[in-house]
Amino acid sequence: MSNNKWHVLAGCTAALIILNGAAQAQKYPDRPVRLVVPYPAGASSNDILARQIAPRLTERWRQNVVVDDRSGASGNIGAELVARSPADGYTLLYGTGGLLSIGPHLYTKLAYDPQKDLAPVALMAVVPYLLVINASLPVKNLEEFIAYAKARPGKLSFASSGVGGTPHLCVEMLKVMAGIDMLHVPYKGGAPAVVDTIGGQTQAYCAGLAATMPHVRSGKLRALGVTTLKRSAGAPEIPTLDEQGLKGFDVNSWGAVFVPVKTPKAVIETLHTSIVAVMSTDVMRDTLIKQGMDPLLLGPKELADLIRTESANWAKVIKTAGIKLE
148 and 205 share a domain?
yes
- Whichever domain contains 164, its CATH number is 3.40.190.10
Residue 189, domain member (yes or no) = yes
In the chain, the number of structural domains is 2
CA dihedral sign, ordered 309, 314, 319, 323: negative
Residue 40, domain member (yes or no) = yes
- Region of poorest pLDDT, from 17-31, 88-102, 155-169: 17-31
Average pLDDT in the 157-173 region? Answer: 95
Which tens digit of pLDDT belongs to each residue from 271-326? 999 999 999 999 999 999 998 999 999 999 999 999 999 999 999 999 999 998 87
Over 60: is that where the pLDDT of 263 sits? yes
- Whichever domain contains 303, its CATH number is 3.40.190.150
Residue 111, domain member (yes or no) = yes
> pLDDT confidence of 17, banded at 50, 70, 90?
very low
- Look at residues 226, 244, 273 and tell me which one is the last residue of a structural domain: 226
117 and 45 share a domain?
yes
So what's the pLDDT on residue 73? 86
Three-state SS string over the chain comes to CCHHHHHHHHHHHHHHHHHHHHHHHHHCCCCCEEEEECCCCCCCHHHHHHHHHHHHHHHHHCCCEEEEECCCHHHHHHHHHHHCCCCCCCEEEEECHHHHHHHHHHECCCCCCHHHHEEEEEEEEEEEEEEEEECCCCCCCHHHHHHHHHCCCCCCEEEECCCCCHHHHHHHHHHHHHCCCCEEEECCCHHHHHHHHHHCCCCEEEEEHHHHHHHHHCCCEEEEEECCCCCCCCCCCCCECCCCCCCCCCCEEEEEEEEECCCCHHHHHHHHHHHHHHHCCHHHHHHHHHCCCEEEEECHHHHHHHHHHHHHHHHHHHHHHCCCEC
**C-alpha distance across the termini of the chain, in Å:** 53
So what's the pLDDT on residue 13? 44
So what's the pLDDT on residue 25? 54
83 and 123 share a domain?
yes
- Look at residues 185, 211, 226 and tell me which one is the last residue of a structural domain: 226
210 phi and psi angles, rounded to 5 deg: -60, -35
140 and 187 share a domain?
yes
So what's the pLDDT on residue 29? 97
> pLDDT confidence of 26, banded at 50, 70, 90?
low
Which tens digit of pLDDT belongs to each residue from 89-134? 999 999 999 999 999 999 988 999 999 999 999 999 999 999 999 9
- Domain extent, residue 160, equals 128-226
65 and 210 share a domain?
no
Over 60: is that where the pLDDT of 24 sits? no
Residue 13, domain member (yes or no) = no
So what's the pLDDT on residue 45? 81
288 and 313 share a domain?
yes
132 and 221 share a domain?
yes
> pLDDT confidence of 15, banded at 50, 70, 90?
very low
> pLDDT confidence of 11, banded at 50, 70, 90?
very low
Kindly give, in sequence order, each residue whose CB lies less than 8 Å from that of residue 66, ignoring residues fewer than 6 positions away.
Answer: 32, 33, 34, 35, 54
CB atoms near residue 230 (< 10 Å):
15
Residue 51, domain member (yes or no) = yes
Question: Average per-residue pLDDT in the chain?
Answer: 91
Over 60: is that where the pLDDT of 196 sits? yes
Residue 4, domain member (yes or no) = no
213 and 176 share a domain?
yes
